[in-house]
Chains A and B, each alone.
Chain A
Amino acid sequence: MSRLFRSVSLGLFLCLGLLLISWWNLFAWSVVPVSGADVLHAFTSFNDQTIAHRIVLDLRLPRLLTALLVGACLASAGAIMQGLTRNPLAAPSVLGVNAGAALGMALVSTLPFLYGALSTSIAAMLGGGVAWLLVMLLGSTWRVGANEHGRLVLAGVAISALCAALTKAVVIMEEDQAAGVMTWLAGSLADARWQTWQAFWPVALISLIGALLIAPSLNVLQLGEDNARNLGINLLRSKLLGSLLVLMLVGAAISAVGSIGFVGLIVPHIARLMFGQDFRLCLPVAMIIGALLVTLADTLSRAVTYPMETPAGAILALIGAPFFIYLVRKRTL
């Protein structure tokens, strides 16, 4: 009873926090002055002659919604990866998916013969998919019984480095496009508009619902592959389905706002710390915390070099990198 009470109150607390941070995000550190009251008036009594109202509805709101959904996508992608590989260090940015997606996107946006051949989101998904496949093969996760944490992470680091080097080479060759690709590599929500949101939310929503649906089979996977098989789980199918979901979640998020790392690594750990190991509870909570974290980072991204923008990805890396080191150092994984 007290456990249930604790979970419910924690959940309510998180939702309230999310609401407050969202409201703060809508007006904080605006170059054109916008107040907290302006935000409320923009929704209740919109006046299209008031610049503050326009900024809230045309710039801030799509940016906030995108931030929320990007956070949810990346956090659940990280949670699924950690569940699939039973590796607490697994995350899209650690296992090469981000770097691969970045390479895919850099290739289509700089190489003339690839212009228009693929949409950037499909290129991001393909690049991420190929990179992850390579990491899985190198880390030999498909071999029965082989589940070495270090090996998988090393493979991820190696493939990430390879992809980053290739991305850099592409950028050097096509210097004209470099500035755009660089902004994109750093991951920023500054240019998220209604257009971005409209292209982003359908894929994101479907993938998020898919993530919630595979939560029970992720729970069974945690018992070990042999036990899972004995319990009647089709291992290959769950792994493929999980991988596909991760690629959709990461691909959608990355093509909307660029490469944002560390959310997928940090958030599942926080969610497990608060709510335990059950993926049915962990996943939705991770989505909320992910949304909260990315929105917070986006708000701060306007503050750091006000009135200019710092990419939100840089802020998250600042928080995420020490956390990664902490996880590696902690031996009770």
Chain B
Amino acid sequence: MLLPAFKHLTTMLCMLILMSSAYAVTVQDSKGTFTLDHTPQRIVVLEFSFADALASVGVAPIGIADDKDKSRVLPAVQEVIGDWQSVGTRSQPSLEVIASLKPDLIIADISRHESVYYDLQKIAPTLILPSRRETYSDNLKAASIIAKVVGKEQEMTDRLVQHQQYMDSIAQQLPDHAILQFGVARADALFLHTDDSYTGGVIQALGMQTPISERDDSAYRQTSLEQLVALNPEYLIVGHYANPSIVDNWSNEPLWTVLTAVQNNHVYRVDPNIWSRCRGILAAEHIANDLLQIFSEQ
């Protein structure tokens, strides 16, 4: 007598579980179709751009591959997400630490982590997207995909509209079509970020231009002083990773004074971590603010 009633109850329970898992979300990532049947709560990200995307919709990852240096995470991102556990460097994240965090979603970079993709999948469902050498529009696309997976699709759509409006409002206060070159300087090499780079894309989104060169096939291009003289940008913005950097050394050379940007005092220093490493919606807005400050001080 009791048995059929019990059966009925289990059927109903099963249906309930099925209904909740019918929530499953499917997106296209760099390896094909990615499906997740739950809203992730414990997320580990292996690049700063992914942390930025999560922070933009108010989600906090529990672990970040932050190169064991918390200051590398954008301050605006830190404000939203609070504290997190470091899972090692972006180039060599520690699989053990990631596993010990018991994540239910890992977000990895196709450029850096393709070789450990299958190992990551054994730990938790892994969403793999472009980050290193990505463009500005790639970055925004990746942010939308991440938001959909974490169940914040609508929030991200609103956030992107707001972002677009913010960038447009800054663009109106910046000079149109100014030719601006950004680069990061290490102790012995200068790498210019071309129009195919993330920062190049942000500069263009702000209504300015990056210099056109004959050979633009990579995001970052190592450049000698001579090539810089040939490029001769109107404004030169440099993030120094070293002190003194190669650009500091160049500034003592007579040839440096030939540059238009030098003659007009249009050479500026910015934080290379924010301009080059962070990448994301919040990072782009930080770059926009930096540029606004640079141009309003003139």
B189 lies within 8 A of chain A by Cβ:
yes
Contact in complex: B225, A59 (CB < 8 Å)? yes
Chain A interface residues toward B at CB < 8 A: 30-32, 48, 51, 54-55, 58-59, 109, 172, 175-177, 179-180, 183-184, 190-191, 193, 195, 305, 307-309
Stretch from B73-81, B159-167, B253-261 forming part of the interface with A: B253-261
CA–CA, A172 and B89, complex, Å = 10
**B contact residues around A307 at 8 Å (CB):** 213-215, 227, 230
CA–CA, A175 and B72, complex, Å = 14
CA–CA, A195 and B222, complex, Å = 21
Contact in complex: A308, B215 (CB < 8 Å)? yes
**A contact residues around B67 at 8 Å (CB):** 175
**What string of 1s and 0s marks CB contacts (under 8 Å) between B139-182 and chain A?**
00000000000000000000000000000000000000000000
Contact in complex: B226, A55 (CB < 8 Å)? yes
Across the two chains, which residue of chain B brings its CB closest to A32?
B230
Contact in complex: B253, A58 (CB < 8 Å)? yes
CA–CA, A237 and B65, complex, Å = 55
**A contact residues around B23 at 8 Å (CB):** none
Across the two chains, which residue of chain A brings its CB closest to B225?
A59
**B contact residues around A305 at 8 Å (CB):** 215
Q: A307-B215, A308-B215 are in contact. Are A54 and B255 (CB under 8 A)?
A: yes
Q: A175-B89, A180-B186, A180-B187 are in contact. Are A309 and B254 (CB under 8 A)?
A: no
Chain B interface residues toward A at CB < 8 A: 67, 89, 91-92, 186-189, 191, 213-215, 221-222, 224-227, 229-230, 241, 246, 249, 253-255, 258
**A contact residues around B241 at 8 Å (CB):** 176
CA–CA, A31 and B229, complex, Å = 9
Across the two chains, which residue of chain B brings its CB closest to A51?
B258
Nearest chain A CB to B75 CB, angstrom units: 20
Across the two chains, which residue of chain A brings its CB closest to B220?
A179
Q: A191-B246, A307-B215 are in contact. Are A51 and B229 (CB under 8 A)?
A: yes
CA–CA, A47 and B28, complex, Å = 60
CA–CA, A32 and B230, complex, Å = 5
Q: A172-B92, A308-B222 are in contact. Are A191 and B227 (CB under 8 A)?
A: no
**A contact residues around B249 at 8 Å (CB):** 195
Across the two chains, which residue of chain A brings its CB closest to B254?
A58
Contact in complex: B89, A31 (CB < 8 Å)? no
**A contact residues around B91 at 8 Å (CB):** 172, 175
**B contact residues around A180 at 8 Å (CB):** 186-189
Across the two chains, which residue of chain A brings its CB closest to B92?
A172
CA–CA, A193 and B249, complex, Å = 10
Across the two chains, which residue of chain A brings its CB closest to B230?
A31
**B contact residues around A48 at 8 Å (CB):** 254
* Sample of 7 further A-B pairs with CB below 8 A, known A191-B188, A191-B246: A58-B253, A59-B226, A59-B255, A109-B187, A175-B91, A179-B189, A309-B224
Which of the residues B92, B187, B221, B258 comes within 8 Å of A54, measured between beta carbons? B258
Interface centre among A30, A48, A307, A309 (most CB of B within 10 A): A307
**B contact residues around A31 at 8 Å (CB):** 226-227, 229-230
**A contact residues around B92 at 8 Å (CB):** 172
Across the two chains, which residue of chain A brings its CB closest to B258?
A51
Contact in complex: B253, A183 (CB < 8 Å)? no
**B contact residues around A177 at 8 Å (CB):** 186-187
CA–CA, A51 and B228, complex, Å = 13
Contact in complex: A30, B226 (CB < 8 Å)? yes
Q: A55-B255, A58-B253, A191-B246 are in contact. Are A183 and B227 (CB under 8 A)?
A: no
